[in-house]
Amino acid sequence: MCGIIGYVGSSGETLGTLLQGLSNLEYRGYDSAGVALAASPLTVYKKQGEVDALEDAIPNPAPEGHAGIGHTRWSTHGPPSDANAHPHTDCHDRVAVVHNGIIDNYQELRDELTASGHEFRSETDTEVVPHLIESFLDNGANPEEAFRSAIDRISGSYAIAAVFDETETVYAVRNQSPLVLGLGDDGTYLASDVPAFIEYTDRVVYLDDGEFARLERDEVVVTDSDGAAVEKSVETIDWDPEDAGKSGYRHYMLKEIHEQPHAVRQCLRGRVSERDESVLFEELPNLDADGPVHFVACGTSYHAALYGECLLQEQGTAAQSFVASEYDIDRIPVDEETLVIGVTQSGETADTLRALRGANRSGATTLAVTNVVASSAARECDDVVYIRAGPEISVAATKSFVGQQITLALVANALAGGSSPAFRRALRNLPDQIQRILDESAARSVATTFIGSDAYFFIGRNYHVPVALEGALKMKEITYEHAEGFAAGELKHGPLALVTRKTPVIALVTGDEPTATKILGNVSEVAARDAPVIAVTDSPGGVGQVADRVLVVPTTHPWLVPVLVNVQLQLLAYWTADELERPIDKPRNLAKSVTVE
């Protein structure tokens, strides 16, 4: 949620670089946008609505400067409006500030500043920052001193960047909200996420909590809270700039669904040996789970965690999944024997980071399963496994969820101490099987058939319960239609009261084990009440006799069937949303990366 971009470089490039960065950050979710140029005088443009509205509000020609900052805002304090949009300035427009996060003591600071004569123009917590900086400038501090002194006064979670009039410098700091620096040939960059500047440079430096950065045209200086220089390693991002584009697809989500065969191959690269038919995890040479395993995650990642829980429980491991915001180490027993696995696409999810930090304090071993190299979760956990899905732009997660599923299956295999030949063959065949679904799926036709339904119910058993939950989440996220997912056995304990001819039931029925027989009984229950049934199955001959429509998946290892089933549910949600003409990549009220608790 919210996005920051900063740039110091060529004067004629600043505005265009900032606007491009904001466009690249649109996937994070936002309701207004703005830029500030450190020209003489300091110039700010901001507008409620999308980046296009901001571009239309900027005069041509526009003032230019060597340094600037930009922001896409997702409202917390104050509704979307031009006044509440970032950047915010002081009384005399000498400094402009952008901010992600929440300032906990803003009301106290605002009251103090108002009493001393400062006039506020917005309802945001952010605006206290430029006024604090102004108060220190008025007392003789230089820009960097004023910036540091202001940060000393605030508490909360934040990533903050500032520019001053008649300067060529960007100042920044982070605390529990991500900031990454980019080192380019023609300038330096600052952003909340790498895609903001990926077309300009792949060399990055990640800030840690409490670190300050000063960006000049040809250097970046990182210091700690006391002003001492900090040596930072430079990472190289293995993403092609084209990965962040649509590549001819109508929506990022559809592109990312179709990238899943490649994402799975990337996830498996170097982890499934062709030579000795082994499954390797060189990143985790000493991984062990003699004690309990706790998964902590949010949203889609929580559904991946539930899937991992199922795999570990089958092997006799005491595994349990927790919604990260509910993981309270004062209530839940955690000690040195506990392995806590944080599942987070971005590696910056605030609730998941809080849970992992609590686990670290309790002496547990922590493992991050994430997509972003050197993210906060990756750096703070004892171990990390990357899912290697590449950049995911659409707010609704698709290829990152499949990457999490595969990675957790590999982790479960590692904890089990080995794998069967059938599992290894299934892993190698998986990318081609996903491609077959993408090529042959009837999901578009099914979606069109059931447009106008009152609700969609997704049911499954065992491994398929997490996928039913994820299928329902995808449906509600991008279609705005009501959808629920639950264990099929729970139908008769309440939800059956809602079943009508206008509530399609999507039943996940695979294999020929007893669970499949039981779910066929559940399908018969809803069919007897005239509810339409959509079966997702690898055995269309059986369930097809009672289902109205069938979506077929190839036969594979039981652990991996949920991966294939999930792809069909992604397509069903996508084509339903497309038929309803929803803004698929940017669903209302949602953000890609939730960096506040």
| Residue range 459-499, pLDDT digits in tens | 999 999 999 999 999 999 999 999 999 998 888 888 887 88
Assigned token pair, 319: 């595994």
Mean pLDDT computed over 343-348: 92
In 3D space, the residue among 541, 539, 552, 575 whose CA is nearest the CA of residue 456 turns out to be 575
How would you label 390-424 residue by residue, b for 16+ Cβ within 10 Å and e otherwise? bbbbbbbbbbbbbbbbbbbbbbbbbbbeebeeebb
Which of 103-107, 350-354, 466-470 is predicted most confidently? 466-470
**Strand pairing of 95-103 and 156-164?**
antiparallel
Q: Are 382 and 284 in contact (CB under 8 A)?
A: no
Closest CA to 406 of 557, 544, 521: 557
Q: Indicate if the pLDDT at residue 241 is higher than 70.
A: no
pTM comes to 0.81
Determine whether 388 is exposed, middle or buried from the number of CB atoms within 10 Å of its CB (0-12, 13-18, 19+): buried
Answer yes or no: is pLDDT of 364 > 70: yes
Of 51-60, 72-81, 245-254, the one with minimum mean pLDDT is: 72-81
For residue 19, the model assigns a pLDDT of 93
Instruction: Give the range with max mean pLDDT: 1-5, 509-513, 557-561.
Output: 557-561
C-alpha–C-alpha distance, residues 369 and 46, integer Å: 37
Sequence-distant (6+) residues with CB within 8 A of 367 are 284, 287, 339, 340, 341, 342, 381, 382, 383, 384, 385, 411
Q: Token pair 């990357």 is at which residue?
A: 386
**Which pLDDT belongs to residue 243?**
64
Confidence of residue 592 (pLDDT cuts 50, 70, 90): low
- The whole-number average pLDDT for the span 577-597 is 81
| 312-to-31, 154, 266, 289, 463 alpha-carbon distances in Å | 41, 44, 23, 10, 11
What is the Cβ-side half-sphere exposure of residue 257, based on CA atoms within 13 angstroms?
26
Domains annotated for the chain, with CATH where assigned, are 3-242 (3.60.20.10), 251-439 (3.40.50.10490), 441-597 (3.40.50.10490)
At 274, the pLDDT band (50, 70, 90 cuts) reads low
Question: Which pLDDT score, from 0 to 100, does residue 597 have?
Answer: 55
Does position 1 have pLDDT exceeding 80, yes or no?
no
Q: 381: pLDDT confidence band, cut at 50, 70 and 90?
A: very high
Whole-number pLDDT of residue 237: 81
Residue with tokens 């447009």: 451
Lowest mean pLDDT among 83-92, 200-209, 220-229, 504-513: 504-513
Q: Are 368 and 385 in contact (CB under 8 A)?
A: yes
Report the relative pairing of strands 293-297 and 339-344 from DSSP bridges.
parallel
Catalytic site residues? 2, 592
Query: What is the overall mean pLDDT for the chain?
Result: 90
Mean pLDDT of 520-549: 83
Per-residue pLDDT tens over the stretch 392-426:
889 899 999 999 999 999 988 877 766 678 888 89
Residue 26 pLDDT exceeds 70: yes
CA distance 118 to 131: 7
Residue-level pLDDT at 277? 59
Place of tokens 């065992």: 462
- Residue 565 neighbours by CB distance under 10 Å: 27
Q: What is the pLDDT of residue 320?
A: 96
Q: Residue 361 and residue 20: Cα distance in Å, rounded?
A: 41
Cβ–Cβ under 8 Å, residues 286 and 314: no
Contact 544, 571 (CB under 8 A): no
Residue 242 banded pLDDT, cuts 50, 70, 90: low
DSSP state of 279: B
For residue 365, the model assigns a pLDDT of 94
549: DSSP letter:
E
Residue 370 exposed, middle or buried by CB count within 10 Å (0-12, 13-18, 19+): buried
DSSP-derived pairing of the beta strands 220-223 and 212-215: antiparallel
The reported pLDDT for the residue numbered 519 is: 77
Give me the amino acid identity at 200. Y
User: For residue 459, what is the enclosing H or E element?
Assistant: strand 456-460
Model pLDDT, residue 29? 67
pLDDT, tens digit (0-9, with 9 covering 90-100), for 171-226: 999 998 889 999 999 899 999 888 889 889 999 999 999 999 999 999 999 999 99
Question: For the chain, what percent of residues have pLDDT higher than 70?
Answer: 95
